[in-house]
Amino acid sequence: MSKDATPAAVKDCDIRGKYPDEVNEPFFLRIGAAFGRQVMASGQGERERGMVVVGCDDRPSTPALKKSFMAGLIAHDLQIMDLGIVPTPVVYWAKETLHAQGSAIITASHNPPEFNGLKVMNGKKPPSADMIRALAEEKVGEGIPKSPALGKVKAWPDAIDRYKSEMMERFSGSGIDTLSVVLDPGTGCQAGVASEVFRGLGAKVIALHDHLDGTFPERHPDCAIAEHLAPLMAAVRDSRANLGVAFDGDGDRMAVVDDLGRILASEHLGMILLKGPLRPEPEMSVIIDLKCSMHLDRLVSKLQGKPIRCKSGHAYMKAMVLEKGAILGVELSGHVFLAILNGRDDPLYTALMLAEYLAGETRPLSSLVDALPRMIMTKDLRIPMAGEEMEHIIEGLKQGPGGARVEMLDGVRLVWEHGWLLARRSITEPKITIRWEGETFKDLKKIGRVLAENFQSLSPHVKRALDQEGKRHA
């Protein structure tokens, strides 16, 4: 591992950590050179083999980290296309549009402003955990080669305008001009992007926090947390809008609010897309986050599709979508992957597709949601625990208590006829994460009893989770 980075910053799908303690300029200089070396060494069929597309967010530490990363990158004979500050999906769109070999985004996504990080891609597939670790661990001598820079950097300042134009062209005449929409980019990278596209299509738009500010003074950049969506929910109700959409810090995740100001679960968004604009052909695959509700699997099967569970994480989900040729991938955190975008996740495109569908529907979004199965599922229980005790619980769950079928895709997943449970070790801290779902609240309590009776230390956590769910479903 580079002496300038800590293991905490190296994740399975990307690099993210606190600046400057966990990510800093010396580390980004070295990782830029290491990524350049990876791109130069691989030929994965892209037309522009030596091209890397680079974008970034607006965090205070981003300019310095980007400068260092680029300095490492141009040590190699690469053509670097600099997009500036853009949403992450625009970088992936540009990579595909230009047939570039690689892409890099300096961003910490949904993390608070004191964090920063890096997302990279080399070739057509997202990075593996091994590739990320190899980048962080690669030794680049005593630094960067002392020879003059070999790479050439070219700015593409109007990339974002071309992207917006393509979006408006695709959804022209879609009926979106009949809708009222509330958008909340949270001063992140979708600021001024999503609102301009919706307005360009004739929608009545109310935009919250619609200016760039990477210190995120008005809303936390994580749109997957319900408390962060309170202004959006209120604005939708007060304005009687047809829907609301929030984006995370780098603009690659979304949260949807219906016309009654209620947050849609990611599974419900997936169900509406499958019943409406996407509707799979028989045997077509849908990739589902391991943490998602069983009701999404059931709908896919009912539509004659093929539900496939996948380990949580952007890179894992996208890789599986590409591998299986899936029509859709749904991650609990708000990533939506689409076959129509060659497996890319682009929440603005997804929001426009949803709006187009609603424009042709006689029922409001709230009625579509109310017609879907009610999900009775705990939130993640993140329980501090010593390694020995955690090992005892994991090993005990592997025995399939309560007659469960045992799956080992990521952690331990127990499946019963009327519910399931998932338990996983935290990679970065001494905690175990547990969640479970039941067909009914009675089934949820039954699974909770299996946990509490077999593992006494979990009993108070189980009781607390069931009390919370009981209030929610009362």
Q: Name the residues annotated as catalytic.
A: 109
Crossing angle of the two packed helices 88-98 and 159-170, in degrees rounded to 10 = 90
CA distances from 381 to 110, 434, 448, 450 (A): 20, 5, 12, 16
| Residue 158: how many other CB atoms lie within 10 Å | 11
Contact 334, 347 (CB under 8 A): yes
Contact 265, 333 (CB under 8 A): no
Residue 258's Cβ-count burial label (10 Å; 0-12, 13-18, 19+) is buried
| Residue 150: how many other CB atoms lie within 10 Å | 13
CA distances from 239 to 205, 234, 236, 261, 333 (A): 10, 8, 5, 10, 27
CA distances from 418 to 285, 403, 446 (A): 23, 12, 10
| Tokens found for residue 86 | 């853009």
Positive/negative CA dihedral, 332, 338, 341, 344: positive
| Tokens found for residue 37 | 């070396």
| Residue 165: how many other CB atoms lie within 10 Å | 13
The C-alpha atoms of residue 169 and residue 188 are separated, in whole angstroms, by 24
> Three-state DSSP class for 89?
helix
State the number of CA atoms in the 13 A half-sphere of 8 facing the CB. Answer: 12
Contact 244, 231 (CB under 8 A): no
| Residue 457: how many other CB atoms lie within 10 Å | 14
Residue 474's Cβ-count burial label (10 Å; 0-12, 13-18, 19+) is exposed
Amino acid at 384: P
DSSP state for residue 345 in the 8-state scheme: B
Crossing angle of the two packed helices 25-41 and 62-73, in degrees rounded to 10 = 40
- DSSP H helices, 175-255, are 194-200, 230-239
